[in-house]
Structure 1
Amino acid sequence: MTAGDRSDVEESTVDALVQLSFLVQGVLGRVAAEHDLSLVQVRLLAILRDRRPGMLELARHLGLDKSSMTGLVGRAEKRGLVRRIPSPVDGRGVLVTLTPAGRELAERGEAEMDERIGMLTASLTAAEHVQLRGLAAKLLHGVAGG
């Protein structure tokens, strides 16, 4: 394989990943919009499904600054989706947790996304599903490790 061939392969891979990203983001965006949520609000609910992080940890997960994080949590709190609770280890800190309504919405949204993303991959064989998960894990591990 020549350097030019490798470049073409890499460009094709980049193009395929970008197109796949647009497809998945479109599905996620439609599900979010049907529940009057933004994508970052969907991510917030997803993070809170299995943990009660502090505001700083949430900001790191979501790539937001402190003021944006405060606004995001405040809006979700007004909708009755999350609540802030005092941190048991830091008297100044607060943890963010889902309310029952927030948990129900997060679970419903997850089920809808699972169904719709599942429809995108329905034509794949079992072996292709395994291969896709393996490749995705390898890419994600590379990002997390570097």
Structure 2
Amino acid sequence: MNTVDAVVQLSFRVQRILAAVGAEHDLSIIQIRLLGILRDRQPGMLELGNHLGLDKSSMTGLVSRAEKRGLVERMPSPHDGRGVLVALTPAGRRLAEVGEAQIARRVTELLNELNATQRKQFTQLASVLVHG
């Protein structure tokens, strides 16, 4: 297997983990990503759309659906009278924490296929790729 195939196949395995955890909570992968982003910040819709790679109308629909489920709330931006910030509700925070724990457990199981030295090397290399 060449490097490109290996990275793509690894991505597929991680996506299957995300999809499986999401299915257990009736969440899509993009909804899982939304909750993950909101764990430590309250971004505006534009910033959130940039993180998720979604346009304005797709972002509005995604946030509206999560809001109807009681997972997120919109609030006025203190810096921009027209801006809206998005934050997790207590229910959304609990679900994000449960999902994070389940994903961490399953990804750890995957990484346990590597020995300690390989895991350290993998972490270093993945950090370079993620952060440039």
Shorter-chain TM band: over 0.9
TM-score by length of 1: 0.88
Deviations 1:61-98 (A, max 9, x none): 00000000000000000000000011011111110000
The correspondence for 1:107, drawn from 97, 101, 111, is 97
Q: Which moved more, 1:39-48 or 1:117-126?
A: 117-126
TM-score by length of 2: 0.97
Q: How many residues align?
A: 132
- With CA pairs under 8 Å and 6+ residues apart, which has the higher RCO, 1 or 2? 2
Question: Matched residues, percent identical?
Answer: 67
The correspondence for 2:19, drawn from 16, 29, 53, is 29
The equivalent of 2:126 in structure 1 is 136
- Structure 2 unmatched runs, 5+: none
Which ranges of 4 or more aligned residues in structure 1 deviate by more than 2 Å? none
CA RMSD of aligned residues (A): 0.9
- Structure 1 unmatched runs, 5+: 1-10
**Which one-letter code corresponds to 1:20 in the other structure?**
L
